[in-house]
Amino acid sequence: MALEIVGHAIVSADGMIADRDHKMPAALRNDADWRRFQAALDRAVLVVLGRIGHEAHPNPGRKRLVVTSRVAWLERAPGDDHTMLWNPSGIGLRRVLAGLGIADGVVAVTGGQRVFDLFLPGFTSFELVTVAGLAIPDGVPCFSGGLPWDVLAQAGLRAAETEELDAGVSLTVWRRP
């Protein structure tokens, strides 16, 4: 099996992942998506996320890599043997993965915006869930470069399959050809 880098996001109809306070509004949560998302993370060899997400959601024992500028390059998270804190300006991802013994499997990238932007060139696929009819004015966009479907297409990914998870909640899997 090869190494796959898979992004996971749920966004409002206007492409936002959080409100202006960097919190995920309740209207953006969906039980069907949550179950699917958690199952995907359980299958991953590594979950990559930003510091805000890491601090908001305790680690249930998965191997985590937290993107943060609060460390020089790579450190074990205090009190969590499953989590490493990583500053991408201090050491590259390939060296980190080699050091963690990860050569194949799925690396699940769960955001936020800075993390999605960082991994955009390397995504092999991106699972984008959209909540129709929901707008988050002044929210945090999934990608800094624009609407997620436009950014993914510009990065060379193509919408490969779409599935309705729940009323008004759809999953589009974007794949690199």
- Given this model, what pLDDT does residue 85 score? 97
- Given this model, what pLDDT does residue 100 score? 95
pLDDT tens digit sequence for 91-111: 999 999 999 999 999 999 999
Global pTM reads 0.96
Residues of the chain where predicted confidence (pLDDT) is lower than 50: none
- Given this model, what pLDDT does residue 175 score? 98
Strand 169-175 versus strand 125-131 pairing type: antiparallel
Which phi and psi angles does 162 have, rounded to 5°? -130, 140
156 dihedral zone (left: phi>0; alpha: psi -120 to 50; beta):
left
Inter-residue contact 136 to 28 (CB < 8 Å): yes
